[in-house]
Chain A
Amino acid sequence: NAGVTQTPKFQVLKTGQSMTLQCAQDMNHEYMSWYRQDPGMGLRLIHYSVGAGITDQGEVPNGYNVSRSTTEDFPLRLLSAAPSQTSVYFCASSDRGKGNQPQHFGDGTRLSIL
């Protein structure tokens, strides 16, 4: 059981380039989300989705775009990379059962913008 899989694990971009961070889960979870982790700031929510075709903004959505065409996949797009987007990005998923369910995280994508 793979859980939450993120690709790539590492990426270096130049300012202005675009790219897509991939996230896939095999647990049939309805809820998926993207966080960024920066030193001293914990994890901050970028975008989230409560099911296929439904997405919404989190705390720090600017410069990022998402879509959810299937239950399994939730890609994160950087439209025009900026040095401020250098961070570690984590995707998470959880079951939409009764009450809040704990979220399961992938191992992250380490992104550096030059």
Chain B
Amino acid sequence: QKEVEQDPGPLSVPEGAIVSLNCTYSNSAFQYFMWYRQYSRKGPELLMYTYSSGNKEDGRFTAQVDKSSKYISLFIRDSQPSDSATYLCAMSEPNDYKLSFGAGTTVTVRA
């Protein structure tokens, strides 16, 4: 079993829809949780960065962490065609710079 599980999709939604992405994990020591966005032929870019449990909002993006269920989510409101990309979840233990990644979910927002 992988340490971080992420549904690879693909996910296709109409413009303006809410996109819901999630990851589950098995390592209870993870405390730092990240979402990266990766456009085709580009490197991952950091979208959201959260510590421990709770919610974090940044514009149209909301990240949620539920450590009791070992489950994290990313919501994209009012999705745009420019949101079409692969979204990767990543996580790490405290004071450990190594990241464990999910496989990535490919999202297409149709105009």
Q: Kindly report which residue of chain A lies nearest to residue B43, judged by CB atoms.
A: A105
A50 located at the interface, meaning its Cβ lies under 8 Å from any Cβ of chain B in the complex: yes
Q: Is the pair B88, A100 in contact by a Cβ cutoff of 8 Å?
A: no
CB distance from A43 to the nearest CB of B (A): 4
- Inter-chain CA distance A33–B90, complex, in Å, is 15
Question: Chain A 26-50 against B: per-residue CB contact (8 Å), 1 yes, 0 no?
Answer: 0000010101000011111100101
| Range for the number of chain A residues in contact with chain B | 20 to 34
B residues near A108, Cβ cutoff 8 Å:
41-43
Interface of A is mostly: strand
Q: Is the pair B98, A42 in contact by a Cβ cutoff of 8 Å?
A: no
- Inter-chain CA distance A10–B45, complex, in Å, is 20
Residue among A35, A40, A90 making CB contact with B8, cutoff 8 Å: A40
B residues near A75, Cβ cutoff 8 Å:
none
Q: Is the pair B45, A42 in contact by a Cβ cutoff of 8 Å?
A: no
Most buried by B among A31, A45, A96, A110: A45
Q: Is the pair B45, A94 in contact by a Cβ cutoff of 8 Å?
A: no
Residue among B31, B51, B97, B104 making CB contact with A42, cutoff 8 Å: B104
- Inter-chain CA distance A104–B95, complex, in Å, is 17
B64 located at the interface, meaning its Cβ lies under 8 Å from any Cβ of chain A in the complex: no
Residues of A81-110 contacting chain B, CB below 8 A:
90, 94, 96, 99-100, 102-108, 110
- Inter-chain CA distance A94–B51, complex, in Å, is 16
B residues near A40, Cβ cutoff 8 Å:
8, 103
A58 located at the interface, meaning its Cβ lies under 8 Å from any Cβ of chain B in the complex: yes
8 A-B pairs besides A99-B32, A105-B45 with CB distance below 8 A are: A40-B8, A41-B103, A42-B103, A43-B44, A43-B88, A43-B99, A94-B97, A100-B97
